[in-house]
């Protein structure tokens, strides 16, 4: 039973990974020649975005997860000298498979958030126009400012930039930020924020926390992209607070269409993010709440 469950989870993770690889490559093709995407394998090399460089990036994190796993096992008193020792110390082929699957799932859990962030960055760029001829973008690294034209407005895209609130002094590290100036990310120039979450479940406290961050950073648009499925009640609650919750395409009822290649997750995400930005739902929610409070006060 446990083995069947792990096999199923590994199959889903493998499908997800391959679909995301294909979508990243498809987006890169559409965004050339304005944007040249690179993949850095930490401490090793930087290569043009390709299926091979994506696999190298994943394998680096797979090896990192295995090293961490061995260290924790040794601290717990386990005798494994190597991963092969851990897997082969049992002669039961089912248990060996279970151990391999466990490690594969640990690796995917550690890195899928990076793939989701990269996909959201490329999907965002896909609905905007570059203002320069050719720019190199290290897909999974801290980047910005990337100058773009969003309809008639010049704006700038950043990833993983630290920003401190003028109001509270609290710091945040949004996954993707769009600003109207290029100097730095501050609470005075943020237009939109995209946060990517890979938690198995999101709850009320998570949404209230995101609301607090959105309010503190002063963004008119705040989009939370959840890798995993989210209940309709939580999505509706997010709307009341001005938080746009978008569920990643592979964890929606349309999953099989994306797996079969009938639809593209990058194109789907590009449309979702563009529409969410235009709605500026957080600004609307704050204005509505402010009006309600004033009416009650009168």
Residue 36: Cβ within 10 Å count:
14
Q: Report pLDDT for 103.
A: 92
Percent residues over pLDDT 70 in the chain:
93
How does pLDDT run across 89-137, given as a tens digit for each residue?
888 888 888 889 899 999 999 999 999 999 999 999 999 988 887 889 9
User: Quick check: pTM over 0.85?
Assistant: yes
For the segment 243-250, the average pLDDT, to the nearest whole number, is: 94
Give strand ranges (E) for the chain: 35-41, 45-48, 129-130, 135-138, 146-150, 153-159, 163-164, 171-172, 176-179, 190-197, 221-226, 243-247
Topology of the domain covering 2-297: Trna Endonuclease; Chain: A, domain 1 (3.40.1350)
Q: How far is CA 93 from CA 52, 87, 98, in A?
A: 30, 10, 9
Residue 147: pLDDT band (50, 70, 90) is very high
Q: Please state the domain extents for the chain.
A: 2-297
pLDDT at 294 over 60: no
Percent residues over pLDDT 90 in the chain:
59
């Amino acid at each position: 039973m446990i083995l069947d469950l792990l096999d199923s989870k590994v199959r889903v993770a493998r499908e997800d990974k391959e679909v995301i690889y294909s979508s990243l490559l498809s987006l890169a093709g559409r965004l050339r020649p304005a944007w040249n995407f690179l993949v850095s394998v930490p401490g090793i090399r930087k290569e043009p975005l390709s299926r091979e460089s994506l696999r190298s990036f994943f394998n680096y994190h797979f090896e990192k997860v295995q090293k961490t796993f061995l260290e924790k096992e040794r601290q717990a008193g386990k005798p494994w000298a190597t991963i092969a020792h851990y897997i082969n110390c049992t002669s039961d082929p089912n248990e060996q498979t279970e151990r391999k699957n466990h490690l594969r799932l640990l690796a995917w859990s550690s890195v899928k958030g990076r793939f989701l962030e990269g996909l959201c960055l490329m999907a965002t760029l896909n609905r905007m126009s570059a203002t320069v001829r050719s720019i190199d973008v290290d897909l999974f690294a801290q980047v910005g400012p990337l100058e773009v034209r969003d309809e008639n407005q010049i704006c700038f895209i950043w990833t993983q930039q630290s920003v401190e609130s003028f109001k509270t002094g609290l710091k945040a590290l949004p996954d993707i930020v769009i600003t109207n100036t290029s100097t730095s990310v501050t609470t005075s120039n943020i237009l939109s924020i995209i946060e990517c979450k890979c938690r198995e479940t999101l709850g009320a406290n998570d949404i209230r926390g995101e609301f607090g961050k959105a309010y503190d950073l002063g963004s008119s648009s705040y989009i939370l992209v959840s890798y995993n499925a989210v209940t309709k009640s939580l999505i509706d609650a997010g709307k009341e607070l001005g938080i746009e919750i978008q569920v990643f395409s592979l964890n929606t009822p349309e999953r099989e269409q994306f797996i079969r290649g009938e639809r593209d997750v990058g194109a789907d995400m590009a449309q979702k993010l563009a529409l969410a930005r235009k709605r500026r739902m957080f600004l609307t929610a704050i204005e509505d709440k402010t009006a309600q409070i004033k009416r009650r006060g009168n």
